[in-house]
Amino acid sequence: MPHSETWLRVLPAGLYCEPGGFYVDPVRPVDRAIITHAHSDHARPGHGAVLASAETLALMDQRMGEGRAGVSQQALGYGERITLGEVGVWIEPAGHVLGSSQVAMEWRGSRVVVSGDYKREADPTCRPFVPIPCDVFVTEATFALPVFRHPPAEDEVAKLLASVALFPERTHVVGAYALGKAQRVIALLRQAGWEQPIYVHGATEAVCRVYERLGIGMGELRPATVAAKGEMQGGIVVAPPSAVADRWARRFADPVSCMASGWMQVRQRARMKGVELPLVISDHADWDGLNATLDEVAAPEVWVTHGREEALIHEAAKRGIRGRALRLIGYGDEDEEAA
């Protein structure tokens, strides 16, 4: 069996599968790319042929403009196997945002799985992560420190609703990344029984409409920009974190600044951003989620793309798993980038 390093290489454009002739989430324009999900650090414009889930392609079109996601696009269903060059390829859900996928590759009996970004908690807006046993697991490590343990998102949304009940004169303005986090927060609010209209920023609304078109209900949404100040008293607004920090949020009646992010576990960050009500809601696996995943996929070797790789590699080594830091340049965390 060939060692994975001989057929999967880190090139300046990103992770390249040589016998397959394609990149996964390249950071520069390439001839053939497989895209794990539509966040801008993974899905970039200007590629030739692009393969991704239908949902990811739809979200890429929305974010980049029709046709800019690739000269040609091919949608892959979860579990649907294809052959690229000499390599068998399929995707499985990553549980990160709608359409997010892990990419599984097989060549001469060796199997590598690239996770993309992922989380293990349930999310009403996307399919749950499917562990795929493999020889090499390529993982993210955004929250790979033992201090990062994310509480159930339902509990955080319950905190938000308790605060809304406590301050009926004020408007709760929730900073949530426009793709994924915002829709998850809205869906969680609906699950918790919040049936009133939710007011949304234009950037958030555009993505919500794609989610709805793809079958993920959001309930009644109203543009926060046209609703009257009085109407939004006692209500909930969802907007990108940058808008919440900005003049944009001053239009609301005595706003309560909230932020939905895994980083809200770090109290200084919340304080620095002037966040009154931090909501620890993450679309990335926490420390336990990352380690449980390494055990479930049972790969003897793990490659870490970006994040806190040292801690994860050290922890994996204790269980006999070989670790390798790929130090891929160009990936970040969408919440961090937004905040």
Residue count, binding to Zn ion (CB under 5 A): 3
Residue 312 C-beta: closest distance to Zn ion, Å: 15
Nearer to Zn ion, 117 or 315 (CB): 117
Nearer to Zn ion, 100 or 171 (CB): 100
Site for Zn ion in 33-52 (CB under 5 A): 39, 41
On the CB side of 196, CA atoms within 13 Å amount to: 12
Using rule CB under 5 A, residue 92 touches Zn ion: no
Residue 219 C-beta: closest distance to Zn ion, Å: 24
Nearer to Zn ion, 73 or 282 (CB): 282
Site for Zn ion in 170-199 (CB under 5 A): none
Q: Which residues of 10-38 are buried (b: 16+ CB within 10 A; e: fewer)?
A: beebbbbbebbebbbbbbeebebbbbbbb
Residue 116 C-beta: closest distance to Zn ion, Å: 7
Four-CA torsion 68, 208, 156, 277, nearest 10 degrees = 80
- Residue 277 host element (H or E): strand 277-279
Strand, helix or coil at 174?
strand
Site for Zn ion in 113-152 (CB under 5 A): 117
Residue 117 C-beta: closest distance to Zn ion, Å: 4
Nearer to Zn ion, 161 or 325 (CB): 325
Residue 77 C-beta: closest distance to Zn ion, Å: 21
Sign of the C-alpha dihedral, residues 133, 19, 43, 15? Answer: positive
E strands in 18-159: 22-24, 32-34, 49-52, 72-75, 82-84, 87-93, 101-107, 110-114, 136-141
How far apart CA 130 and CA 4 sit, in angstroms, is 22
Question: By CB under 5 A, which span of 109-117, 249-257, 258-266, 307-315 interacts with Zn ion?
Answer: 109-117
Residue 251 C-beta: closest distance to Zn ion, Å: 30
Contact track, Zn ion, 262-291, x by CB under 5 A: ------------------------------
Residue type (1 letter), 258:
C
Nearer to Zn ion, 257 or 282 (CB): 282
Q: Calculate ∠ Cα 105-336-171, nearest 5°.
A: 125
Nearer to Zn ion, 173 or 260 (CB): 260
Contact positions toward Zn ion, by CB under 5 A?
Answer: 39, 41, 117
